[in-house]
Structure 1
Amino acid sequence: MIANDNRINGRTVDYTKALEFLAHHMMAPGCRVVLDELQFEVLKAYLGHVQAVGDDTNFGLEMCVDYRDSEDTGGYSVSWDNDGTALQDDLIDAIMVDMVQNLGFVAGSIFREGHITDLADIDGRIAEIRERVAAKHGLS
């Protein structure tokens, strides 16, 4: 699915206030979220998996912005911070990297530009990530 096909009125939307309402405890001060409607749903699904890693990770989403509507730039900006155990940090980082690669962004660092994962596929992707990270930590 191509993210550009899911924009509201052909544009991205600032979802910062909506995310503050839904997941304020996961947002770093000054966080900004500008995505299309489907991207926002995918972000929320991934954040649910991040939250499941544990409340003690001190995860904070700092930014998640799709710049495709900007006249002078393109690409995206996604950043986060966390400080849990080494296992928690590796798991959260792997989840967030997978999200970035599957959120429909268009940029040279994206393997399949414009591809946005189906919501139904996220749980399976996270299960694979959990297995991979557990193996890295000698837990499998």
Structure 2
Amino acid sequence: TINFTIKINKIIQNINNNFKIVAKDDKGTEIKFSVARLNSDEEDDNSNIVPFQVAYAISIHKAQGLEYDKVSIVVADEIEEQVTHNIFYTAITRAKKELKIYWSAETENKILKSLKIKDINKDFHLFKNNIQNIKTLKN
């Protein structure tokens, strides 16, 4: 089963049993639903089809250099070996305000373990400078 939580830019009052309203505000409704995985030996039927189309999807390579308020990343188990440090970094740094990553626990574990620290001194220096900048802005 794959679980989805999505925000719809429409206020929904009534919803069928396949969906659950998680939150509502004056800008839209957040809903949650599940979809059964389609095994290769199963025949197609409507209960296994994702009930929406991805309307605003962009590849990680095309997103390079762009930023978005909200970013959702879906990492299927089948492609986890293709997710390199550079691709993962590019993907997660596209979000300005909110980042959601959808992946299985196994995929998350494999990807995070595969990431290597290249230059810890450089990373520490950047982190230290950013912390000092944040403290300066607060005062």
TM (norm. structure 2) is 0.24
Higher share of residues assigned helix: 1
In terms of fraction of residues, the more strand-rich structure is 2
Bigger RCO of structures 1 and 2 (CA < 8 A, at least 6 apart): 1
